[in-house]
Amino acid sequence: MNRALARILLSLAFCAPAAAQDVKKEIERYRQMVSEGSPAELFELEGEALWKKPQGPRQASLEKCDLGLGPGVLKGAYAALPRYFKDADRVMDLETRLLHCMTTLQGRSREEATQRVFGNADRPSEMESLSAYVAAQSRGMKMAPGESHPKEKAAYELGRALYFQRAGSWDFACTSCHGEEGKRIRLQELPVLLKPENARSVAASWPAYRISTSGFVTMQWRMNNCYQQMRMPEPAFGSDTTVALIHFITVTGKGETYQGPGNKR
């Protein structure tokens, strides 16, 4: 073999894996730079205004909403969710609890309050802005969802079982994408949420600003959108299914310091 050709081949052999490594590194850099310039805080401002705005038949604000630490207590409330609520006799995540407060405090119907839970870039939903505001009040606190009540234990077990449940036109379960370490869809890396070391950063960064749609997204949206991509029918907002999955992921990722609202692809 000609020596020059051999040298080219040799360099190619070393270049190929190096190129893949560079792609990964550059994508990480991209995400880092984007998160430094995230508009997530704008949604917190909207949410604060909505929290204080009198609405519904009772013209009440949400300022007396009990998110688990007492009426109106915001600091640290998100870090302690999902948890069991005695007044509703079920485990609730942030959005489900906000919906509960909209119906009980503001006197709104479930239908009206859930009419538009997922917004878009032009108009974020009330739920999204409120989630941004409430979650931000837990920044710097350790994630500690409820784990002691029997219904909390049941929600965790249900969430874990659902994570493996294969169904739909494409036979997908959560594990189809989030089941094996180091895999990705296109360039998006996929955390295996069965493992605390992966679930921790997830639990500590949702809800989040989503770069690809310029909108703010919540965990309820994430569950809804995963089921959509799994080619399944639509899960109801705040249903036991979605709450159980969120609870399972959050419990798996507990202990991490909350740093959100974060940034997603």
Partner 1 sequence: MNRLRRTVLGALAAWLATPLAALAAWNESAFGAKTPQDALKGIGAANPAPSKEIVIDAPQIAENGAVVPIEISSNIPGTSSLAVVLEKNPFPLAAKFDFMEGAAPFVKLNVKMAETADVRVVATAGGRHYSATREIKVTIGGCGG
Partner 2 sequence: MQRDFHARGQAGMERVVQDGIQRVCTETHNQPPAELARRLEADQMKTIAFPQASLIGDWKSGERIAQNGRGMQWTDAPGTPNGGSCYNCHQLSPKEISYGTIGPSLAGFGAKRGSGPELQRYVYGKIYNAKAYNLCSQMPRLGYSGTLTEQQIKDLVGLLLDPASPVNQ
Partner 3 sequence: MAGPMKMRATLAGGYTEVRVLMTHPMTTAQSGQPLHFIQNITVKLNGKALIEAEVSQAVSRNPVFSFRLKGGAKGDKIEVTWLDNKGESNKIETAVA
Residues that bind partner 2 (CB under 8 A): 23, 164-173, 175-177, 179-180, 182-187, 190, 227-229, 231-236, 239-242
What's CA 241's distance to the chain center, in Å?
15
CB of 42 to partner 3, least distance (A): 5
**Of 229, 225, 180, which Cα lies nearest the Cα of 207?**
225
Q: How far is the CB of 119 from partner 3 (least distance, A)?
A: 13
Cβ–Cβ under 8 Å, residues 224 and 237:
yes
41: contact with partner 3 by CB under 8 A: yes
Question: Using CB distances below 5 to 8 A depending on partner kind, what does residue 41 bind out of partner 2, partner 1, partner 3, none?
Answer: partner 3
Q: Concatenated DSSP letters for 52-112? A: HS-BTTTTB-STT-BSSSSBT--TTTGGG-SEEETTTTEEE-HHHHHHHHHHHTS---HHH
Query: Please, what is the minimum distance in Å from the beta carbon of residue 262 to partner 2?
Result: 22
Residues at the contact surface with partner 1, assessed by CB under 8 A: 22-23, 26-27, 29-31, 33-34, 36-37, 185-188, 211-212, 214, 228-229, 265
Q: What is the three-class DSSP state of 142?
A: strand
Q: Which residues 6+ apart lie within 8 Å of 2 measured at CB?
A: none
Instruction: Considering only the stretches 40-48, 87-95, 180-188, 226-234, report the one whose residues sit in contact with partner 3 under the rule CB under 8 A.
Output: 40-48
151: which 2 tokens?
């219904």
Q: Does residue 234 interact with partner 3 by CB under 8 A? A: no
Please confirm, yes or no, whether 226 is among the known catalytic residues: yes
Which residues are part of the catalytic machinery? 226
